[in-house]
Amino acid sequence: MKRNILITGGAGFIGSHLVDALLLNPDISVSVIDDFNPYYPPESKRRNIAQHLSNPQFRLYETDITDDESLKQVFEGQSFDTVVHLAARAGVRQSLIEPAAYARTNIEGTINLLECVREKKIPKFIFGSSSSVYGQGAPTPFSEAEANVGKILSPYAATKVAGEAVCRAFAETYGINTICLRFFTVYGPRQRPDLAIHKFAALISSGQPIPVFGDGSSFRDYTYVGDIVDGICAAMDYDSRGFEVINLGTSHTITLSELIRLIGEGMEKEIRVEQLPMQPGDLSATCADISKAKRLLNYSPKVPLQEGISKFIDWFETGSVAS
């Protein structure tokens, strides 16, 4: 059966990998909305999707989701089966500087999309959320139960909480089948340059010290981008009714110090560290309870961290990934 999928933020890190995976199926057409904003170099996002521009199954719309009228024109032109909403202002630290911009894109933009979905009676909406919604002090591993929420530390996290709330309201009021997927620290080829693994690799490569905020004992649940894409695809196929929140992570963690050591070993370069105070907005720990994802989506992350770091380094050093 032919399917027509819309992906917002589809030229970005996670979105472009999802596009790659979906276009392997000749029965799926993919439309991408991306505004190519300069948060990081737009040329890198254009490279992410360059191979698909001549594919008749692929369409690109250079549109900002906060531009309501332009957004409606995208929906007027096509009939979509599913909207996967990955477009967002990302980055905890930048949100401390530009909170209003984050609110416009991540909350207002999400409402604009949901309005289009409601008007066009599109069967499914998938929202790319974040582990940051659990906040500081939530019991680990983080489970989707509403009670398991700590202190929200950044405007970015607050906008993701608000985005989920808006999704729930539209699901319950208008009957839109909606899944919010909480991503846990995604990494891999094409990773944004502001994210830890990419930033650390760039500093190691140039012989510069790595700034470590805190004592290096903070830990994260790092998830390879291919496993995240598998989870999104499973959510697209899941026969959901109403509203669901589902974690996509690995349930395995590593400290910041160990992560840096692993990257340095993979690059076969010396590491220098600059110790700094903890940054505002950063969680000290994340770890996903993925039992719900396993039960509902048959989700099973396949790429262990060491292998995923190796794949990232291959891409970082050569522009491609070893098979």
CA 249, 7, 109: angle at the middle one, nearest 5? 95
Q: Among residues 61, 102, 134, 156, which one is catalytic? A: 156
Instruction: Give the phi and the psi of residue 210 in degrees, each rounded to 5.
Output: -95, 125
Count other Cβ atoms within 10 Å, centred on residue 218.
Answer: 19
Tell me the C-alpha distance between 10 and 317, whole Å. Answer: 24
Q: Please, which contacts does 133-139 make with residues 24 or more away whose CB atoms are closer than 8 Å?
A: 133/157, 133/160, 133/161, 133/164, 133/182, 134/182, 134/283, 134/286, 135/283, 136/283, 136/284
List Cβ neighbours of 299 (8 Å cut-off, separation of 6 or more): 230, 231, 234, 248, 290, 293
User: Is 156 designated active site?
Assistant: yes
Tell me the catalytic residues. 156
